[in-house]
Amino acid sequence: MVGLLDNIKDYTLDLDDSQAHVLEAGSGYPTIFLHGAGFTNSAEAWLACIKEGLADSVHVYAIDHVGAGYTSRREGRYEFGFLVDHVREVQDALGFEKTNIVGHSLGGWVGGVLAYESPERVNKLVLAANAGLNVQPPAGVAERAQLPSHDQLAQDLAGIADDEVRAAMLEARKRIVDYPNAAETYDGVGEMFGAIPMRKRYYLTRRLGRIKAPTLLIYGENDLHVPSPEGRKVMHEGIKGSQMVVMPDTGHSMITERPREVAKMISDFLNG
């Protein structure tokens, strides 16, 4: 029997001064998927959507952010611009002038800034539960990373219904926790996210009117994180011609809560 991971290529790209971890699946127009923030988060966050048919009609390149997952850690201070330029570096390393960009949470913030800074690099844009609209950092975002036990990791993933996806994500998170200096590195990332000057500099709202790529916005009705209902309106009205879907009975983590519906929405939009 062919398992989930048998259909996914897992490899590392060499970039100018770092490396990038990539999960590749499917065929068709190249689409880079960006995950949310969190010490144990990585490209594997998209596994549930991949299993639920995302790669049937989309060429998926799910990547780790700088300082996350198994992608190279940087010494010294982190800057938000590193995350955005990391996506361009991956595009270059893969040989793509332009790709679709799909981002969840932090990944949506990065994707939005990329579409503003480099419109020629973005074909279509999907932002799911995107961050980037609040100057004040959410509670806990800048707290020092604590190394969870493997049992704690399993408890955190208990809500994922699919056994195969849950097992693959658990294995990935165990590897991240065991990565050398993982917690110390993420402290630098968390400090960046908590810095109000950085958040003001990369505030997404003022950039929205200059995003020209066809855009799909996906939000959870019960999302208690970001953005607020007012923020969703700002996004929808700010990006001219954007489509917006608010999923009922859904929270912030829709890519694992409702992966089949999210995969279909993304696929239909990108192929429409």
Whether 111 has a pLDDT exceeding 90, the answer reads yes
Residue 1: which pLDDT band, with cuts at 50, 70 and 90?
very low
Whether 148 has a pLDDT exceeding 50, the answer reads yes
More confident residue, 69 or 168: 168
Tell me the average pLDDT of the chain: 90
The length of the chain, given as a count of residues = 272
Query: Which token pair is 30?
Result: 């190249």
pLDDT of residue 76: 63
Whether 86 has a pLDDT exceeding 50, the answer reads yes
- Residue 65 Ramachandran class (φ > 0 left, ψ -120 to 50 alpha, else beta): beta
Burial bucket for residue 77 (CB in 10 Å: 0-12, 13-18, 19+): exposed
pLDDT of residue 144: 56
Q: Which residues of 108-133 are buried (b: 16+ CB within 10 A; e: fewer)?
A: bbbbbbbbbebeebbbbbbbbbbbbb
Query: Which token pair is 174?
Result: 């165990």
More confident residue, 159 or 99: 99
Whether 8 has a pLDDT exceeding 60, the answer reads yes
Q: For 230-256, what is each residue's pLDDT tens digit? A: 999 999 999 999 999 999 999 999 999
Whether 207 has a pLDDT exceeding 80, the answer reads yes
Q: For 48-79, what is each residue's pLDDT tens digit? A: 999 999 999 999 999 999 888 877 666 666 78
With a CB cutoff of 8 Å and minimum separation 6, the contacts of 82 are 66, 74
Give phi and psi for 104, each to the nearest 5: -110, 130
Peptide bond into 227 cis (omega under 30): yes
User: CA-CA distances (angstroms) from residue 207 to 84, 104, 118, 129, 174?
Assistant: 14, 18, 12, 17, 37
Q: For 17-33, what is each residue's pLDDT tens digit? A: 788 999 999 999 999 99
Whether 2 has a pLDDT exceeding 60, the answer reads no
